[in-house]
Amino acid sequence: MSRKVLITRPVEDASPLKARLAVMGLETLENPILNIVYNDEKSISLDGVQAILFTSANGVRSFTRCDDNRSLPVLTVGNASARAAEEAGFQQVESADGNVDALAALINKRLDPKKGTLLHVAASRVAGDLAESLEKGGFDVRREVLYSAQVAEQLNDKTQQALKDGQLDAVLLYSPRTAIAFVSLIRAAGLEECCRTVTVFCLSSAVANAISMIAWRSIEVAVKPNQDDLLDMVSAWSQA
């Protein structure tokens, strides 16, 4: 019997992730914990902007819904957001392949504060303080809020039943906010004891810390905070 894995990513990110897990022979359930709401009415000024910063693929999607400009250089926090930018038509794309600290380091290496503003396309809530880090290096950073991530009201019926029946083997978690919300939804459903047989795969130690208030079978953390390393870890587990 194949192992069953819960995908907690927003709908927009779930399909490609499901396909990669299927190649590993894993069965999946989908239960978006954060639902993306786009601010399509926002008008964006690119005057004086030397580069665009994306810290998620949702940032790329939100920008492309508001503006047709694809001429500016793009720097992204990770490879998933870089791929989304390339697929959207941006020609100059570079990934930090890590977290916001890695992105800040890449920006300091590649860009000159004197050449213009950095536009950070973001959600209404952000993880880490990219702007503060860059401003210390002399950069002018403008954050444009083009989308928000709303927490689901409850776990869906299939997820709850899989937990109750002991049929869920693992969960993938990508952000501390998702992890915190997931814990809250599990507690609201009275399913804490059902988590003792579930392995949690976390993108970072911050995600692991956010999930640690519940007893799991094990909590595994990617070597580097990117999806490829996370899925390498899942692949090894699937073959064990």
Please identify which residue in the block is written with the tokens 């890695």: 102
Rounded to whole angstroms, the Cα distance separating 80 from 227 reads 7
Kindly provide the residue ranges of all beta strands, DSSP E only, lying in the chain, ordered along the sequence: 4-7, 27-30, 34-38, 49-54, 74-76, 93-95, 117-123, 141-151, 170-173, 199-202, 218-221
Domain end: 119, 134, 149, which one? 149
Amino acid at site 201: F
Residue 51 shares a structural domain with residue 19? no
Residue 190 shares a structural domain with residue 124? no
Strands 141-151 and 93-95: unpaired
Domain end: 149, 169, 187, which one? 149
Residue 143 shares a structural domain with residue 178? no
Q: What is the pLDDT of residue 132?
A: 87
Residue 112 shares a structural domain with residue 205? no
Residue 23 shares a structural domain with residue 46? no
Residue 101 shares a structural domain with residue 45? yes
- Give the model confidence (pLDDT) of 93-144 as tens digits: 999 998 888 999 999 999 999 999 999 998 877 665 788 889 999 999 999 9
Judge whether 170 and 200 are in contact, CB under 8 Å: yes
Residue 44 shares a structural domain with residue 134? yes
User: Would you give per-residue pLDDT tens digits along the chain (240 residues)?
Assistant: 689 999 999 988 898 999 999 999 999 999 999 999 998 888 899 999 999 999 999 999 999 999 999 999 999 999 989 999 999 999 999 999 988 889 999 999 999 999 999 999 988 776 657 888 899 999 999 999 999 989 999 999 999 999 999 999 999 999 999 999 999 999 999 999 999 999 999 999 999 999 999 999 999 999 988 899 999 999 999 998
Residue 62 shares a structural domain with residue 145? yes
pTM as predicted: 0.83
Residue 142 shares a structural domain with residue 160? no
Stated as kind and residue range, the H or E segment containing 12 is: helix 11-23
Domain end: 111, 127, 149, which one? 149
Number of structural domains (the chain) is 2
Q: Please give the order of strands across the beta sheet that includes 34-38.
A: 34-38, 141-151, 117-123, 49-54, 74-76, 93-95
Range of the domain at 65: 37-149
> Residue 214 maps to which CATH number?
3.40.50.10090
Residue 168 shares a structural domain with residue 120? no
Residue 143 shares a structural domain with residue 58? yes
Contacts of residue 159, defined as CB under 8 A and 6 or more positions apart, other chains included, come to 6, 29, 31, 168
Residue 98 shares a structural domain with residue 117? yes
